[in-house]
Structure 1
Amino acid sequence: MSDSALPTGRQLLVLADRDTAEEVAQTLLAQWPALGPFELVRDALAGEDDAEDAQWLVVLEEPATGWEAPLVAAVDALVAEHEGWREDG
């Protein structure tokens, strides 16, 4: 990942359920305590009333030093292991 491709600002980790979001948040906090604390947010899909159709977000604020390539790669790998993804917040 080149520096020009590094994200800026808040990042959202999108995951399928609350338990997975909590597990990812705990792993992140254990490995990179400076990133926490995290906010967990339920994100209902547009037009869906069923609670089963909700995604969970782990909200990451940009570190004081900015997003660095090794950290972004590690976060992306962790989220992918849990069948999720990262997007700009």
Structure 2
Amino acid sequence: MQWMAWTTPTAIFFLVIAGLLVVFTVLGVRYPETPRRGILRIDTTRGDRLFITLLGSAFINAGWLALSGLPQWWALGICALWAAAVFRWV
């Protein structure tokens, strides 16, 4: 796999995503939930909120790279706030 840049941060990223999927699968089996209606006025489950969080975080990080010269760690902090807001209100 020489064509892909498998660095430590890349491996950590994929491991975190895989870990989240495993945790959410176990939570879904152990504690089934009914969809809830949040601020978006659509029914969402844990998995839906995780998807919205990951998608929003990708846009936050891409925008941060395009518009800011500050370290990417700041974008990670914004993504954490975004995730907390999505899981609380969406």
Higher relative contact order (CA 8 A, sep 6+): 1
Name the structure where helix makes up a greater proportion of residues.
2
Name the structure where strand makes up a greater proportion of residues.
1
TM, length-normalised to structure 2: 0.30
TM, length-normalised to structure 1: 0.30
